[in-house]
Every structure is written in structure tokens, then in C-alpha cells.
Homo-oligomer: A and B are copies of this chain.
Amino acid sequence: MSQTVTAAVLVIGNEILSGRTQDTNVAFLGKSLNDLGIRLMEVRVVADIEDEIVYAVNALRVRYDYLFTTGGIGPTHDDITADSVAAAFDVGIDYHPEVFELLKQNFESRGLEANGARMRMARVPDGALLIDNEISLAPGFQIENVFVLAGVPSIARAMFNGASNRLRRGEVVRSRSIRCHCGEGTIADTLAVVQDAFPVVDIGSYPWSKDGRYGTSLVLRATDIAMLDSAYDAVFQAAVEAGGDPVEEPAEA
């Protein structure tokens, strides 16, 4: 019996929606979750508006095994993720004694005042479990199946790594990829036949163009390695017959 573990990501931040900041956390989380056998099924990006965050958190946490949020856990007024997640779970939020002491001692040791804003980062919803990270002192947190991570990519990554041993693992999706020097239209019909023959293999087709040449990357993904390899052989053969001069592309996560 195959076991599929699913996840969603909720990116919180006006700066992503305005185009100011290019998100890179989604691609990182998609790959990292896949390495654990967890499939990223949906992503949403919402603004720094509490109602929007609450709505999205509640829609996604019931639908998927895990939800990861990124962004909005810093010290400034626009960092409203912790409060919004507490509201989504209808629990209180308060200073976490351990984090409070940690941050207070650290700020004071650096000659910085433990002011309201700085200590804001010690506020954690009731019942949440901390997520430590090696880069910043302020932790993320987990409440039920929701993991609240920073938006800064290096910290988001460290927090994900700090929490990954808490995740239930599923079957890892393996992938193989073929670089084909023909257009999608040339191989599409035979590709559809192969896809029908291997329903458990997900076959994706992605056009590319580079240095005046164009072609198609054919990406096969499956949990069953034997099936993956059989489908790979069939697609490779189809690419040869289409005159696509195929080569295997390096494996990816």
C-alpha cells in the first residue's frame, strides 16, 4: 500500500506580490520535501493582512498533511504571521519564557535594549513547539501540522532543516530526465501514448531554447523505480524515433 504524504506552502509577504522580491523558498521547499517523500501539492502567496493569512492557513492545514509558512516573523509592525496563525488556531499568543530569556540576554550582551519590537520575536502561539535554527536566534515554531518559518531564505532553510526530523516520510518520488533536440509538437503524440501506458509515471514536457537551438526536456517522475526506468526507455526510444537526438540529463532531486 503506497503512502502519500502531502504538503502546502503559504508565502506571506507584500514584497513577493509587488514583485520587489523574487521568492526562492518555494523551489527549495519543493525539492527538500520531495527528498523526504513529501509532495508539495499547492502554494499560495498572500499579503500581510491577517484575515487573508488566517483564511489561507485554515484552508491549507486541513487539506494537506503539512503546511509550511514563510515570512512575517520578524520584529516589525508588518510581521503578523505569529498572531495570524494563533488566530487561525483560535489560541492565545504570549511571550515564550525560554525565547524571551534567550533574546533578552543576547540583546543586552550586545548592548542593545530589549525593546518591545525586538522582544516581539519571542511571542509564540500557545501550545506551539519551537523550531531552532543555526543562523538567527529567534526561532520558528510548529503548531499541530503547521510549520512557521522565516522569509529570509538562509533562515528558512535552517529552520526547515531544524524541523525536518519531525516530519512523517512517504515514498520518495524519483525522477529521470531526457534532453531532446526537437520541438514538443514533434514528440507530443507518442509521448501521450507512453503516458497512457505508464499511468503511475508522471511525464512532464518542458520546452527550452538556448543559443539559437530549441528543444524539449522530458521529465519522468514516479515512486516505483522499475516503472520509472521502463517509462524512461519508452520515452527515450520515442525521442530517437522523432529524430530528437536525446541525451539523459543529470539527475535532479
Residues of A at the B interface (CB closer than 8 Å) are 11, 14-24, 26-32, 34, 39-48, 52, 74-79, 107, 112, 115-118, 120-121, 152, 173, 175, 184-186, 188-189, 191-192, 195, 202-207, 219, 221, 252-253
Bound form: Cα–Cα A11–B11 in Å? 14
Given contacts A19-B28, A22-B24, A34-B19, contact A77 B116 (CB under 8 A): no
Q: Decide: A15 and B219 in contact? CB cutoff 8 A.
A: yes
Q: Decide: B16 and A30 in contact? CB cutoff 8 A.
A: yes
Bound form: Cα–Cα A43–B16 in Å? 10
Q: Which residues of B contact A43 (CB under 8 A)?
A: 11, 16-17, 43-45
Q: Decide: A107 and B22 in contact? CB cutoff 8 A.
A: no
A-B contact pairs, 10 of them (CB 8 A): A16-B26, A17-B40, A18-B40, A18-B175, A19-B30, A19-B253, A21-B27, A23-B26, A77-B188, A77-B195
Q: Which residues of B contact A202 (CB under 8 A)?
A: 14
Bound form: Cα–Cα A228–B203 in Å? 50
Q: Decide: A19 and B31 in contact? CB cutoff 8 A.
A: yes
Q: Decide: A189 and B14 in contact? CB cutoff 8 A.
A: no
Q: Decide: A75 and B185 in contact? CB cutoff 8 A.
A: yes
Q: Decide: A207 and B152 in contact? CB cutoff 8 A.
A: yes
Known: A42-B46, A74-B205; 11 extra A-B contacts, CB below 8 A, are A16-B26, A19-B29, A20-B252, A41-B46, A41-B47, A43-B45, A76-B191, A117-B188, A117-B189, A120-B188, A121-B185
Q: Which residues of B contact A188 (CB under 8 A)?
A: 75-77, 115, 117-118, 120
The minimal Cβ–Cβ distance linking A37 to chain B, given in whole angstroms, is 13
